[in-house]
A and B are shown apart, each in its own frame.
Chain A
Amino acid sequence: MPVSTENMVRVFGRPESLNESAFSYCPGCHHGVVTRMIAQAIDELNIRERTVVIAPVGCSVSMYQWFRCDGTQAAHGRACAIATGIKRVNPDLIVFTYQGDGALAAIGTAESIHAANRGENITVVFINNQIYGMTGGQMAPTTLLGQWATSCPEGRDGRLAGHPIRFAEMVAQLDAPVYVTRQSLFDQKRLIAAGRAIKKAFRYQVEEKGYSLVEVLTNCPTNWRMGTLEANKHLAEVVVNTFPLGDFVDRG
């Protein structure tokens, strides 16, 4: 029997600030969840017409094409410098970067730290999946000790390859940032908290409070070579031991 939608209430839909494009992420990837959360925050704050998407080089390289917002694409690691240029010449715009661990915490370390240190009024979303997703699973600055990656086939050895960088904690040492937090997505409670954190980071920018960093611990089912449930378990039981969750700074 055909179901009538007449008396139904729409409780979930595509955020207004996304266009019809399909994301290019792998199935089960947390990237898609965070990208959607951002769109939802933009909708809820009613800032679509002011928002600028700065896509990185990484699995989210095409992300600026999925929003009904103006956008650009940054050289690998340079997103925070580009965000600085845009925001300073047009402070009415709401500018956010979305970057992986390679972009934010390896090749773009200087740009990332100094934008935070200047307290640029921007929102930085940091996707910490502990791997270089786009290039096929090489070691990231955030790769766990002992973790396998295509460029550390014996597992990451801290003596030779360094230790996982806790970027949120580093940024939290600076005087300027107003909001620095680490979130995850491995269960319902965390999903809700992460969505709220992202919205708060955008809200602080709208309120001209200053720089926010939302680091999100995410999966990479493809390059971790794990199913999504197993990846969630790994995040909840292993990854959080190296990368503790929570707010490090909230001066809002």
Chain B
Amino acid sequence: MAKIDKVLMSGNEAMAEAAICAGCRSYFGYPITPQNELLEYMSAHMPNAGGVFIQAESEIAAINMCYGAAAAGMRTMTSSSSPGISLKTEGISYIAGADLPCVVVNVVRGGPGLGNIAPAQGDYFQATKGGGHGDYHMIVLAPSTIPESVELVMLAFELADRYRGPVMVLADGMLGQMMEPVVLPESIDPATLPAKQWAITGARGREANLVTSFYLDPVELNEMDVRREERYREIEKNEVRYEEYKTEDAEVVVAAFGSMARISRTAVRMARSEGIKLGLLRPISVWPFPYEPLRALSRRVGTILTVEMNAGQMVEDVRLAVAERAETPFYGQLGGLVPSPNDILREVKRYAG
């Protein structure tokens, strides 16, 4: 049955339902605020969809259960919030090393340490620059609304399968908890997904399939790593996603992702009503990062102000893109505080005109 009606859902529930729609039939998680509703939704709905739900003994166990399910060829997902993602990084590195598709949702909260349960973006470095050990990347998608969270969870499964690696959906406590009307996508029947020839399904009438990140011989490991790097270059070429809002005539541009971009959009409208030519560049994929669009913008605007709910993480990528061609100030709030449109506008006025 096609689902066409709008339903009011929290971000956490919507991401869970989107995963089921994407043909994910195994979910493993461990409770942590502010993502509990995702796990709870899965506990209620995954069994009905004929899938596997396990509340694991830890985030480490959960991500390794994903490793197993992914190795067996099943679309699989885990979710957590910042401290739990730290525990998952070992597993994410192994999943990347074994070339396994897996979706990880991070509903980011205040940090470091236990921090708090308020929305934050302090896990940007961890998500985009590795987090776990070794040379690996994961595609990181940062939604800024709940309908977009649904879209990006669906996309995450597709990209994970296409490029055989972990894909993270980088949300935050606000996106997880907030409710919005969403239209749920058409469900994918997992049986219609292409078979994974490499998966562990039993060596029946074929050579044994081995799923591993272990290559004792440096020449062999180098070869595997180089091949993966080539795939990363391909991802950088094909999978950069971003949105520009009122940048055509902009003199100042705000760069922001996730919830912060949504708030910045309001700031742009407020600025425009006061005659300030403000625009917004919103990376949707934060890895691969939209360096090129920012580079292009930096040739025509004087200032690119990065706004984040952290001490300044994405701003490093913005500065890499912009080099010295434009001013690249940063504005952020820490500790789970969320900058308001007024805060942003006030900051913009320091550089406008």
Measured CB to CB, the residues of A under 8 A from B are 19, 48-52, 61-62, 64-65, 67-75, 78, 81-90, 92-93, 110-111, 113-114, 118
Docked complex Cα distance between A48 and B205 (Å): 11
Known interface pairs A86-B72, A89-B74. Does A75 touch B26 (Cβ–Cβ under 8 Å)? no
Number of A-B pairs whose CB atoms are under 8 Å?
133
Say whether A86 contacts B210, CB under 8 Å: no
Shortest B78–chain A CB gap in Å is: 10
Known interface pairs A70-B200, A70-B201. Does A82 touch B208 (Cβ–Cβ under 8 Å)? no
List residues of chain B with CB within 8 A of the CB of A93: 72, 200-202
Shortest A211–chain B CB gap in Å is: 14
Q: Does B71 contact A (CB under 8 A)?
A: yes
Measured CB to CB, the residues of B under 8 A from A are 25-26, 28, 52, 54, 56-58, 60-62, 64-74, 76, 90-91, 94, 98, 200-205, 208-214, 216
Contact check: which of A61, A78, A85 meets B214 at CB < 8 Å?
Answer: A61
Contact check: which of A48, A62, A83 meets B203 at CB < 8 Å?
Answer: A48
Known interface pairs A72-B98, A110-B60. Does A88 touch B52 (Cβ–Cβ under 8 Å)? yes
Say whether A75 contacts B64, CB under 8 Å: yes
Top 3 A-B pairs, shortest CB-CB distance: A85-B68, A81-B64, A85-B65
Given contacts A75-B94, A85-B65, 7 further A-B contacts (CB under 8 A): A72-B67, A72-B71, A73-B98, A81-B56, A110-B57, A111-B60, A111-B64
Say whether A82 contacts B57, CB under 8 Å: no
| A-B residue pairs in contact (CB < 8 Å), sample of 12 | A49-B203, A64-B212, A65-B210, A67-B208, A70-B202, A70-B210, A71-B200, A72-B210, A75-B90, A84-B68, A88-B52, A92-B202
Shortest B35–chain A CB gap in Å is: 20
List residues of chain B with CB within 8 A of the CB of A19: 208
Say whether A74 contacts B64, CB under 8 Å: yes
Say whether B214 contacts A81, CB under 8 Å: no
Docked complex Cα distance between A65 and B210 (Å): 8
Docked complex Cα distance between A68 and B212 (Å): 16
Docked complex Cα distance between A72 and B209 (Å): 8
Docked complex Cα distance between A61 and B209 (Å): 16
Shortest A210–chain B CB gap in Å is: 16
Docked complex Cα distance between A81 and B28 (Å): 10
Say whether A72 contacts B65, CB under 8 Å: no
Docked complex Cα distance between A214 and B136 (Å): 37
Docked complex Cα distance between A111 and B62 (Å): 10
Say whether A70 contacts B203, CB under 8 Å: yes
Say whether B216 contacts A62, CB under 8 Å: yes
List residues of chain A with CB within 8 A of the CB of B212: 64, 72-73
Contact check: which of A67, A82, A92 meets B65 at CB < 8 Å?
Answer: A82
Docked complex Cα distance between A93 and B69 (Å): 12
Known interface pairs A68-B208, A72-B98, A82-B68. Does A52 touch B61 (Cβ–Cβ under 8 Å)? no
List residues of chain B with CB within 8 A of the CB of A68: 203, 208
